[in-house]
A = this chain, B = another copy of it.
């Protein structure tokens, strides 16, 4: 059996290498790739995705997993070996349901859709993005159908990001949370409002970058094992257990965007960087619960990064970076300002109290898209009317409305609720 396990690990190591190469192709696409490279990049992602898929779903892997099944019962259930075989088996059963052509289709579609979104968003041109999003939604409906029977057609999509999670479970949690969250926001809004205007003024971009770097260096982000770059939408990715990279986005007239997104992505990175080197190049080396992943990013961003003890230490330093903006703002005012609760348009810049409502809105919309009860062409209206219901705001344009997030353009549907659930888990762990 030792020999069989070794054979399996050899194949899984090659699968992991392909995955890391795919992650690099994706990182490059969102950071440095010249615009004309997009079409070829889609082809490359398609080919590598297909090769990964064929290698992982091969009969050889199936046979090895069958041969190893009896071994699992004899192993301690939490041992690396037992978990490796179980997790690989689970992924194998899922991936074998998806034909290789559909893997290529998604990679190529996501690549051109991402380009279209990148161009359509600054132009505030939803019509340009719409045909791509229609294909993504159509794809995800067909994808979900591969997993029939299911309790709900959205279940297989959720499962991609949080193994085993069901639509009904998320809805139950959100249904309980929503009235409490709304009541909390109402209670806050009935009280005197916090002034956060000092955050919204010109802040030098390089200094924003430098201060963020200083903060996450103190968080323990190991620069020998990672790096930070700029991207239109911040994300974390990895090319190995010792190469976990983050990105950030600098807004020249708002001090909170780069700073909190840098902390957030650093939280993701520290989680990945904590993986045991013994799990390298196996499926266990890729944490697959995004709820837990988001619990770590949201913890560093909010439970640490918006706390008073944190700022008692860091605020004098931030004032040194920005004397003209913050020299006359005292710690207490600053602390209240970065914790201001105020309905706003952009999810990634929302405060902790309203944040989950952004997620609930997205979950409803995604479910409706996948059920087919709303059409992509009607999305801007659906988005705007829900924004009014949930947050009392109507986006002035689609750039800051339905087109604000990168996820759909990347082919992700089912991801968003992990953020809100991550918030809940982060507080429970804390």
Q: Which A residues fall within an 8 A CB radius of B? A: 13-14, 17-18, 20-21, 24-25, 28, 32-37, 39-41, 43-44, 46-48, 50-51, 222-227, 229, 239-243, 245, 280-281
Contacts and interface: CB of A to CB of B under 8 A. Distances in A.
Contacts of A14: 47, 50-51
At the interface, is chain A mostly helix, strand, loop or mixed? helix
| Residue from the set A37, A39, A222, A224 with the largest chain B CB neighbour count within 10 Å | A37
In the A-B complex, the 6 residue pairs with the smallest Cβ-Cβ separation, listed nearest first, are A40-B240, A37-B243, A17-B47, A36-B242, A36-B225, A17-B44
Given A25-B24, A34-B223, A36-B224, A239 B41 contact: yes
Contact of A18 (B39, B48, B227): B48
Given A34-B225, A51-B51, A39 B242 contact: yes
Nearest to A40: B240
| Residue from the set A21, A223, A227 with the largest chain B CB neighbour count within 10 Å | A21
Q: Give the number of copies in the complex.
A: 2
Contacts of A34: 223-227, 242-243, 245
Given A14-B51, A28-B28, A51-B14, A20 B36 contact: no
Nearest to A239: B37
Given A17-B44, A239-B44, A281-B43, A28 B36 contact: no
Given A28-B24, A28-B28, A51-B51, A17 B37 contact: no
Contact of A243 (B24, B40, B281): B40
A277 to B, nearest CB: 10
B17 A242 contact: no
B13 A241 contact: no
